[in-house]
Amino acid sequence: MKLVVAIIRPEKLNEVLEALYRAEVRGLTISRVRGHGGETEAVETYRGTTVKVELHDKVRLEIGVSDPFVQPTVKAILAAGATGEVGDGKIFVLPVEKVYRIRTGEEDRSAVTPVTMEESGA
């Protein structure tokens, strides 16, 4: 099992979610974050106060997947999240020691396999 953590542009979120859905990657968590990865600052002016905004709004996706799903997940995010300009974000793939599903107490692989897929026999 791996934990895929992706930092992407907020305006690309819907496209990435769509791509993940098509890749049959289901359970995920997102959060709004701010960060800086080398893109140029935006300049904003409020009356006499001019500021350079160095931290940009980003979205962080956290997706726990079983090993066969790592590549499809990464590919979907790479394809849908890219604009080709600095600031598109990063994907981190991290090893996972244990996974538990809180509802049932299931562990590891069965814990990261979505319920809908079990029921459909996939």
Taking CB under 8 A as the criterion, the residue among 21, 22, 29, 36 binding another protein is 36
Q: Which is nearer to another protein, 35 or 64 (CB)?
A: 35
Mark the segment that binds another protein (CB under 8 A) among 19-27, 42-50, 61-69, 98-106: 42-50
Q: Is 87 left (phi over 0), alpha (psi -120 to 50) or beta?
A: left
Residues contacting 111, CB < 8 A, separation 6+: 99, 100, 101
Cβ of residue 22: shortest distance to another protein, in angstroms? 14
Answer yes or no whether residue 34 interacts with another protein by CB under 8 A: yes
Q: Which is nearer to another protein, 45 or 120 (CB)?
A: 45
Taking CB under 8 A as the criterion, the residue among 52, 67, 103, 119 binding another protein is 52
Cβ of residue 44: shortest distance to another protein, in angstroms? 5
CB 1 within 8 A of CB 108: yes
Q: Give the β-pairing of 42-46 and 49-53.
A: antiparallel
Answer yes or no whether residue 48 interacts with another protein by CB under 8 A: yes
Answer yes or no whether residue 43 interacts with another protein by CB under 8 A: yes
Q: Which of 30, 31, 113 is nearest to 121 (CA)?
A: 113
Token pair recorded at residue 107: 């562990």
